Amino acid sequence: MFTFSIPLTEPFDFQDAITSHGWWMLAPNAWDPKKERFYRTFTLRNNATIVVCVYMKPSCLQVVTEVKLTETDRDEILHQVSWMFRVNEPFEPFYTLCQTYNELTDLPKRRQGRLLRSPSLFEDIVKVLLTTNTRWNQTIQMAEKLTYHLGEKAHGFGREFHSFPTPEKILSAGEAFLTEHVRTGYRSNYILDAAHKAVDNPARYVQPSSINHFREIKGIGPYAMNTLAMIVGRYDGVPVDSEYKKHVIGTYFNGIAPSKSDLESVYDKWGDYKYLAYWFDHYK
């Protein structure tokens, strides 16, 4: 075993960072709540697939592999794990708003606001597309089939894993395969469009600083756009889907549907942290 550490400088609840967002249920992520170990595959620069285990010790995350890594590969894995768990993202301004409004005041003590994301933006784009107009259990099944059929197989820590497929592998599979074997339906065309754009401009689909190009992808409407903005650390929009509407109408409008503008403005006072305010208000 080879173990590396990522220092933690802010309050950090490992289990909450994983389970506050349903991404932990989507392949190739795997969470063992009894051992408090998080597993998934990562792809190295030489395209080799390895399995990584992440767990927490006081003041640091421990990253464990069963294969020896080059210094470059080690640094890349540590960077990707840090990105996934938002290790370097400050949440103190959000905590201050919680205290200011006397709402969600348990967040700094119990939950830190970190919502799990994937190592690459491309993976997150595909997963967001898999959440559109469907039930959550179907999203889980589509992600599982996508990794099983198109990901690379890897063994680690006593079990078999599959990697999330590359854009090239998805393009090679084609629309008919996605529709028939992954059961992505109309989303197949959107996933292929995202894959084409990731191949044409790969730097944009790793861990970007801009989100404007998301709109170029077929199937990325307002809901998906705000969800992807959250993924990259921008929380100034809310994901107005059926879950949002159900929560807001039931909580703030006594079950009576308001106007579109009233529906979307419930969390306006939270400014740059609207998404987090909604998320933890809904799932508190």
Nearest 5°: phi and psi at 162? -130, 150
pLDDT, residue 209, reads 66
Question: pTM higher than 0.75 for the full model?
Answer: yes
Pick the CATH number of 1-90 from 3.40.50.720, 3.40.50.620, 3.30.310.20, 3.30.70.100: 3.30.310.20
Segment 85-119, tens digit of pLDDT? 999 998 989 999 999 999 988 876 666 789 999 99
Domain boundaries, the chain: 1-90
Apex CA 71: angle with CA 70 and CA 77, to 5°? Answer: 90
Position 211 scores a pLDDT of 80
| Contact status, residue 30 vs residue 40, Cβ threshold 8 Å | yes
d(CA 122, CA 129): 11
pLDDT score for 108: 67
DSSP letter at 114 equals: -
The Cα-based distances of 67 to 48, 52, 154 in angstroms read: 11, 9, 12
Q: What is the pLDDT of residue 113?
A: 80
pLDDT of 210: 74
Q: Which segments of the chain have a pLDDT < 50?
A: none
Per-residue pLDDT at 202:
86
